[in-house]
Structure 1
Amino acid sequence: MAGNSGSTGFLRRFAQSEAAPGIVLMICAALALVLANSPLAEPWHDLFHHRLAWTPIAKLYNLHLWINDALMAVFFFVVGLEIKREVLAGELADSRRRRLPVLAAIAGMAFPAAIFLLVAAGDPALHAGWAIPSATDIAFAIGVLAIAGKGLPPSLRLFLLTVAIVDDLGAVLVIAFFYTTGLDLAWLGAAAAILLGLALLNRFGIRAITPYLIGAALLWYAVLHSGVHATIAGVAAALTVPLALNRKHDSPLLRLEHALVTPNGFIVVPLFGLANAGVALTLGEGGSLTLPLAIALGLVLGKQIGVLGSIVLAEKLKIATRPEGASTRQLWGLSLLCGIGFTMSLFIAGLAFPATPLLVEESKLGILAGSLVSALGGLFLLKGSARVE
């Protein structure tokens, strides 16, 4: 009984730790990678890509589509809730405090894209993947930061979170504007009408959660058929959920975020990792190293140059000040952690090359390599850096 109680207590403490979602995601990614390079590779692939015997939505005809187009809408819904909370009541609400993380996030997206296009300049077929190395994975990055140990300034975590949230917003805009094709105006009109209805719920002071969840589901269904990627509906719906606090300092947005953050971190994102991280560690017939190299260099070098460079430049120009108590080594390590692009990078890779599975697989190699180097490099610089001035 005592042993059972101890293991239950450990699991509870682990689930409540900051590192837990990142560690679970790492385990799922590693499992997918092992299975994809084992004798079970073919049945593992078929599990996600084989056409289902029955599906209630014709467009989602296999498990991979259900995860990427439906379940990931929940991930984007949580992202939208986080963005709205930060903009209205968090770090992004204060113009002085948001200046540096916003600059760092923008530069941290621009430089990886520039390096990608520089490396892939000779092959126009690869140019659609320019946004793949621009993303930062919040769960992975925060997980590695937590593993780095105690003694780091609390301002580092806050800065990383804010940069990653702005980065997510940028990624959502990129998906909406650059990876949308074949619009169906009727479904798009229906989506706009549903979104307007959700906005009116907010405007008229509706605080019950259920109408927003029903509206979000309807919006997702309409967007799924509109030609815009269905997960954008998650962010759009989240932005209509009221944040206004009542006398108990509670709100529909905070209740939803609190309710969804655990299933998002321990179910949605790990399932996405299982379904998308599996890649053969050898180039297929006709494969090339150009795409993996462009993505890996974008993540490892581009993020460092963009994030750290913007912090140094902002300080020199007296535009903003660095996170309180943070050393240059710690900021360098943090900029490396921003190069962990896993979840969003894998997602964008599937959108960039929808008709070319070989390029998606090559993208995965670059994402995994770049994210691993960034994670290890950031961990090395941050580990024990509290004692380094």
Structure 2
Amino acid sequence: MRATKLFTSFFESEKASGIILLLCTVFSILITNTSIGETYSHFWHTQLGSFSLEHLINDGLMTIFFLMIGLELEREIYIGELSNLRNAMLPVMGALGGMLLPALIYYFLNQGTLYQNGIGIPMATDIAFAIGILSLLGNRVPVVLKVFLTALAVIDDLGAILVIALFYSKDLHTTNLFIALGIFVVLLAMNRLKVYKLWPYLLLGALMWWFMLHSGVHATITGVLLAFAIPFEKGEEQSISYKLEHFLHKPVSFIILPIFALANTAIAINFKTLSNGLPTYAWGILLGLVVGKPLGITLFSWLAVKVRLARLTHGLQWKSIFGAGILGGIGFTMSIFVTLLAFSDTEIINNAKLYIIIASVLAGLFGLLYLKSILKLKTED
């Protein structure tokens, strides 16, 4: 019952968050392409000490986003959809396929080019947008489909986090890295010793973030590590994990992600460049998200059931899994985040962001129309 209540709260917050993210994105793109666009773009590069405002958002505020993702994943593992191995394997395998096939498509189109490093861009799913689009269909959407998409997106984000940690880290500064990992070990020891006060975890987590920031490993990884160090206990409402996750939902959904969207979608559209034809990285992003995602998610889910590694949850149909796979092509937040790490050229970054937005809009629109069609047919049967 407690898990259901928290899931419902999560789903409702993501529904509203998706709408706000969309409005922020449209606003940011529109204002960037007006006469005050240059001033607006420069604002996000304002220096605050040794960091720009954009840097603080992407490395600082987004760590809190990753902390919430880690707490959600922890909950799913302990008491949610991922707590039963055979139930868990369906979204796990779906997420795996939804990462591998888009990455292969991108790599096939960009291997040996300057754009090869963007292979991680089409691997991600934006939870807020995907669930926000699904929620537009109202009570016609089966609960099992909502749970499947949520679990899929959370696992997908974990995969993206691992990709960032393994492939998008800069030159390592081992001393800082070992200090950060040493703090993580202390946090795990506190967990084992049943320290159930939240403030020591947050204090040491902030310290771990500082050393991770200067280690060459992307600092946002700290959020996930901290989440798994915080005691989950039995997932009861008085547990500090439950309280923190519940507290973070609204600030992340209604403050952090909208700010991230505003800061990272200040895209000046160069129509002359677009008219010259799409570069290979654009095709990799578009085909990876719009085509690779639904095919990879559906194929790997089907294979998992076929070899009896997973089971198809009662009430979940293959055509609805394919629809969830289409919505999985909404990359947005995580895809843009990986773009910032993958490329250094400003023009390529801006163009890649634009193609991510186009792909995400197409995936959202196709997914909405497709699911509306099959769910409508279902009510008429």
User: Where do residues 79-98 of structure 1 align in structure 2 (5 Å cutoff)?
Assistant: 79-98=69-88
Which among 252, 263, 282 is matched to residue 264 of structure 1? 252
Higher mean displacement: 223-232 or 318-327: 318-327
Give the structure-1-normalised TM-score: 0.90
**Counterpart in the other structure of 1:278:** 266
Q: Secondary structure at the match of 1:345?
A: helix
Deviation at 1:280, TM superposition (A): 2.5
Which among 26, 33, 46 is matched to residue 37 of structure 1? 33
Which among 330, 345, 349 is matched to residue 340 of structure 1? 330
The question of whether the paired residues in 2 share the 8 Å contact of 1:156 and 1:323 is answered with: no
Structure 1 Cα separation of the partners of residues 362 and 119 of structure 2: 20
**Counterpart in the other structure of 2:149:** 160
The question of whether the paired residues in 1 share the 8 Å contact of 2:96 and 2:300 is answered with: no
Higher mean displacement: 316-325 or 299-308: 316-325
Deviation at 1:261, TM superposition (A): 1.1
1:123-152 deviation digits (Å, cap 9, x = unpaired): 521000001000000011000000122212
1:238-285 deviation digits (Å, cap 9, x = unpaired): 110000038x65311101001111101111111101111222232676
Which residue type is aligned with residue 270 of structure 1?
Answer: P
Deviation at 1:63, TM superposition (A): 0.8
The question of whether the paired residues in 2 share the 8 Å contact of 1:291 and 1:362 is answered with: no
TM-aligned CA distance change 1:283 to 1:174, over 3 Å: farther
Higher mean displacement: 379-388 or 339-348: 379-388
Which residue type is aligned with residue 110 of structure 2?
Answer: A
**Counterpart in the other structure of 1:3:** none
Higher mean displacement: 31-40 or 318-327: 318-327
Which among 208, 211, 216 is matched to residue 227 of structure 1? 216
Which residue type is aligned with residue 21 of structure 1?
Answer: S
Which among 114, 118, 126 is matched to residue 108 of structure 2? 118
Instruction: Give structure 1 regions of 4+ aligned residues with deviation exceeding 6 angstroms.
Output: 284-287
Indicate yes or no: 2:296 matched with 1:306. Answer: yes
Aligned-pair identity in percent equals 39
Structure 1 Cα separation of the partners of residues 361 and 263 of structure 2: 19
Higher mean displacement: 80-89 or 165-174: 80-89
The question of whether the paired residues in 1 share the 8 Å contact of 2:184 and 2:225 is answered with: yes
**Counterpart in the other structure of 1:10:** none
**Counterpart in the other structure of 1:140:** 129
Structure 2 Cα separation of the partners of residues 218 and 237 of structure 1: 11
Which among 354, 358, 361 is matched to residue 347 of structure 2? 358
The question of whether the paired residues in 2 share the 8 Å contact of 1:91 and 1:97 is answered with: yes
Which among 288, 293, 308 is matched to residue 283 of structure 2? 293
Give the structure-2-normalised TM-score: 0.91
Structure 2 Cα separation of the partners of residues 283 and 223 of structure 1: 40
Deviation at 1:315, TM superposition (A): 3.9
Indicate yes or no: 2:59 matched with 1:63. Answer: no
**Counterpart in the other structure of 1:250:** 238
Structure 1 Cα separation of the partners of residues 185 and 34 of structure 2: 49
The question of whether the paired residues in 2 share the 8 Å contact of 1:18 and 1:146 is answered with: no
User: Where do residues 205-224 of structure 1 align in structure 2 (5 Å cutoff)?
Assistant: 205-224=194-213
Deviation at 1:17, TM superposition (A): 5.4
Q: Secondary structure at the match of 2:140?
A: coil
1:7-58 deviation digits (Å, cap 9, x = unpaired): xxxxxx9x95551011111111111111122222101110101334xx2xx2
Higher helix share: 2
**Count of residue correspondences:** 367
**Counterpart in the other structure of 1:241:** 230
Deviation at 1:318, TM superposition (A): 4.2
Higher mean displacement: 259-268 or 15-24: 15-24
TM-aligned CA distance change 1:323 to 1:65, over 3 Å: same
Which among 98, 107, 115 is matched to residue 97 of structure 2? 107
Structure 2 Cα separation of the partners of residues 96 and 313 of structure 1: 13
Structure 2 Cα separation of the partners of residues 271 and 75 of structure 1: 12
The question of whether the paired residues in 2 share the 8 Å contact of 1:292 and 1:364 is answered with: no
The question of whether the paired residues in 2 share the 8 Å contact of 1:120 and 1:127 is answered with: yes
